[in-house]
Structure 1
Amino acid sequence: MIDLLGISLLVRWLLGWFLSLRMPLLPEASLSQVPRVSVLIPARNEETTLPNLLAALNRQSVRPLEVIVIDDHSTDRTASIAMECAQELPITVMQPPPLPQGWCGKTWALHNGVRASHGEVLVFLDADTEPLPSFLERLLAKHQTLGGLVSVQPYHRTEKPYEQLSVLFNLVGLMAVPLGQGSGVAFGPALVTSRIDYDRSGGHAAVAGKVVEDWFLGHCYEQAGLQVSAFLGLGAIDYRMYPGGLRDMVTGFGKNFATAAGEVRWPWMLAVLLWLSGLFWAAWCLPASLLGWPMVGDPALLPNAVVYGAYALQLLLITRRVGRFGWINLVFPIPVLFFIGVFVLAILNLERGRVSWKGRTFSTRDRARTA
């Protein structure tokens, strides 16, 4: 029994290494010819994050033709802050018409932003991203090589202790999908496409009611016969997810899980679930051995400490490409409990058929916005 359990845990632990193998970084590259680039930034109540992005864009090695900030009916100083930066960058601040039935706020904002833009290449950046000076050049160079839709998942910069709890959401989200050239995966925080390919795919009008629009936009590109590629942003672009506090983080991850879980390809999902089952067991085994709780297998301290240490080491090494996660990996039962709790909340959101975000209520089913 113990031998079988040990073999099973070893297989699950090795699956973690396998799932982390295909996580390529956005490569270093230079442009021989700079295209006319429109940078589009959807922003709803982003007065604290938008200044960092605009300052980072002003330091880029490649200067865009225009930067369009689409103020999604913010109730804070988002629009005025963007206007204050207009002397340093070619910034246009616009507000789309009132949100119509069947659209989500972000898709409606970007749809209208594209219609107002003039560049031959479109770069979409979330307001909380912070690109390093070479980012635009590297992104555009990769797009010139691959075409289609190219996206980058930013490196998650954590600053407060509660942000460390997100480690498993960041990691599982990347483990559950193939990355690299032609992966079919798209990450919403940073994307680039030509205007011709955008129109060919149907653009954001084709994913109007999707809360997690990046996944479905990638599907639209593939259906149009266009390549979809994705890379990690370590050393190229950062972001700080949910700086507004623990409640925002719980709501945000719950929203994403509730709407995107069904889009993961089942072989990848099965592998991730097997790895997670080993991680969950490892999170239980050491405390159970120390405190005499019920458990399957040998209750001796040494073998359970070895299993625990093996998973802690794996997390420490794998997450270095994903974000700034350190000490939390040594006490991984804590983020395991957080992960399970938010996952249960996501299931409840699926049952209710709706989720709230930034003052709006969205459907988690096929139909779009409900309020």
Structure 2
Amino acid sequence: MIIQSTISLLLLLIQVPATALLLSRLLKGPRRYPPLEPQQPTPEMLGTVSVIVPTLNEALRISPLLAGLSRQSYEVREIIVVDSRSQDGTPDLVKAAQQKDPRFRVITDDPLPSGWVGRPWALHNGFLFTSPESEWFLGMDADIQPHPGLVASLVKTAAAEGYDLVSLSPQFILKYPGECWLQPALLMTLLYRFDPAGIHTEQPERVMANGQCFLCRRSVLAAVNGYSSASSSFCDDVTLARNIAAAGFKVGFLDGAKVLKVRMYEGAMETWKEWGRSLDLKDASDRAQVWGDLWLLSAVQGLPILILLGFLPLLPLPPLLPLRLLWGLNIFLLIIRFALLLAIAPSYDRKNARGGWLFWLSPLADPLAVLRIFLSAFRTPREWRGRNY
């Protein structure tokens, strides 16, 4: 009995302050900016946006992006695809799109210099080639599937809300059982650590961003020397956004589930390997923040399922107050987890997924998701998108 009480008290000391911090963030949710809706441009927006797409062997998934960008209206001045010497015919697909839409052009970036990661290097090269007449720089990944009216909606929202930089969370396309179970648990590690999408975050070190759809004033990007300050970051989007926020500019992260979709990785193993190793955001955070986030995730996401499963042999519970408080707290955390799962359901396209029902069992993957963040936090990537570093 004494051992059970002592362990319960220790776990309460770990979990109670983490739960209070989590609630302080989640309670901001009702004030968040609503999800973006597709919009039509207005005449003054003519030619105000330069779109940059970094590519490296993206032939199997870039076609929906090219088609979606062609459906954007006259606010898009140019679409520059910066290719890093793809070997699969990616540039040929862009050149074919150019025959139908002259806004497309493809350039090859310079050889990757020491100290740079491939993605920020390609985006930096693209920025240098954008027209100085464009007011906005829009970075987009090759796996994005934009809806008509996306770019107009982004620009109008940024102008109306006074943002110098705004990025969007997408709707994720799921196909296979493993990813339907694992991917929502990995996404939840972000939802627990940061303010909800649509809430303006005042602290630069807590700013969140998504480089898959990343709109920035060209003048602001020029003021910070393009992507130079994020040159060695494997999460360059968050690193750059935090640097821009620290320079005094207004940065926003909004819900874009109604204006763009993304098919990121094929299956659970690729999701675990590729996405999991950038979710720790260690390149954009100091060591204390990384450790603080690991404590929070362990306390409110990783432990509840394990603790509740551990309680099963003890039922009915003995009359020990610490034990009953711990049981109640973790039931409460599990209720929060399922409520958040319901809230993020519109952020997933599971219409054609095999085993889509496993999405609702993703809380059982939470200990694995937290473990993935731990593993990533203490490892420096040596290979990314086919490149060795």
Q: Same fold (TM over 0.5)?
A: yes
Aligned to 2:45: 34
- CA pair 269-235 structure 1, distance change in 2 beyond 3 A: farther
C-alpha deviation, 1:223, in angstroms? 3.8
Question: Pick from 336, 358, 369: which aligns with 1:339?
Answer: 369
- CA pair 269-241 structure 1, distance change in 2 beyond 3 A: farther
**Residue 171 (str. 1) matches residue 188 (str. 2):** yes
- CA pair 356-292 structure 1, distance change in 2 beyond 3 A: farther
- CA pair 197-311 structure 1, distance change in 2 beyond 3 A: closer
Paired residue type of 1:338 = L
Larger mean CA deviation between 302-311 and 140-149 belongs to 302-311
Question: Pick from 128, 136, 152: which aligns with 1:115?
Answer: 128
C-alpha deviation, 1:287, in angstroms? 3.7
Aligned to 1:155: 171
Question: Pick from 69, 88, 95: which aligns with 1:57?
Answer: 69
Aligned to 2:262: 239
Runs (5+) with no aligned partner, structure 2: 351-355
Give yes or no for contact 1:40–1:110 (8 Å, CA) kept in 2: yes
Larger mean CA deviation between 161-170 and 48-57 belongs to 161-170
Q: Secondary structure at the residue paired with 1:150?
A: strand
C-alpha deviation, 1:322, in angstroms? 4.1
- CA pair 77-271 structure 1, distance change in 2 beyond 3 A: closer
C-alpha deviation, 1:208, in angstroms? 1.6
Which deviations, in whole Å up to 9, do the C-alpha atoms of 1:262-298 show, x marking residues without a partner?
62797898588446524434312454455679x9936
Give yes or no for contact 2:297–2:370 (8 Å, CA) kept in 1: no
Counterparts of 1:150-299 in structure 2 under 5 Å? 150-164=166-180, 165-178=182-195, 179=197, 180-181=199-200, 183=202, 184=204, 185=207, 186-243=209-266, 245-260=267-282, 263=285, 270=292, 273-274=295-296, 276-290=298-312, 297=323
Give yes or no for contact 1:26–1:152 (8 Å, CA) kept in 2: no
- CA pair 306-250 structure 1, distance change in 2 beyond 3 A: closer
> Aligned residue pairs: how many?
355
Cα distance in 2 between the residues matched to 1:6 and 1:355: 38
Question: Pick from 108, 112, 129: which aligns with 1:95?
Answer: 108
Larger mean CA deviation between 81-90 and 334-343 belongs to 334-343
Cα distance in 2 between the residues matched to 1:167 and 1:359: 25
Aligned to 1:138: 153
Cα distance in 1 between the residues matched to 2:273 and 2:144: 19
Paired residue type of 1:155 = Q
Paired residue type of 2:108 = Q
Give yes or no for contact 1:68–1:113 (8 Å, CA) kept in 2: yes
C-alpha deviation, 1:354, in angstroms? 3.7
C-alpha deviation, 1:254, in angstroms? 3.6
Q: Secondary structure at the residue paired with 1:86?
A: helix
C-alpha deviation, 1:127, in angstroms? 0.9
Paired residue type of 1:331 = L
Aligned to 1:367: none
Which deviations, in whole Å up to 9, do the C-alpha atoms of 1:91-121 show, x marking residues without a partner?
1011111111121111111111122221332
Paired residue type of 1:170 = L
Which deviations, in whole Å up to 9, do the C-alpha atoms of 1:109-163 show, x marking residues without a partner?
1111122221332111111111221211110112223141111122222222222
C-alpha deviation, 1:40, in angstroms? 0.6
**Residue 314 (str. 1) matches residue 322 (str. 2):** no
- CA pair 347-219 structure 1, distance change in 2 beyond 3 A: closer
TM-score, length-normalised on structure 1? 0.81
Cα distance in 1 between the residues matched to 2:16 and 2:158: 39
Cα distance in 2 between the residues matched to 1:278 and 1:107: 33
C-alpha deviation, 1:173, in angstroms? 1.4
Paired residue type of 1:91 = F
Question: Pick from 94, 103, 112: which aligns with 1:82?
Answer: 94
Q: Secondary structure at the residue paired with 2:80?
A: strand
Cα distance in 2 between the residues matched to 1:102 and 1:268: 22
Give yes or no for contact 1:155–1:239 (8 Å, CA) kept in 2: yes
Percent identical = 23
Q: Secondary structure at the residue paired with 1:231?
A: strand
Q: Secondary structure at the residue paired with 1:85?
A: helix
Aligned to 2:79: 67
- CA pair 327-194 structure 1, distance change in 2 beyond 3 A: same
C-alpha deviation, 1:10, in angstroms? 8.3
Larger mean CA deviation between 133-142 and 267-276 belongs to 267-276
Q: In angstroms, what is the RMSD of aligned CA positions?
A: 3.6
- CA pair 39-63 structure 1, distance change in 2 beyond 3 A: same
C-alpha deviation, 1:304, in angstroms? 10
Q: Secondary structure at the residue paired with 2:265?
A: coil
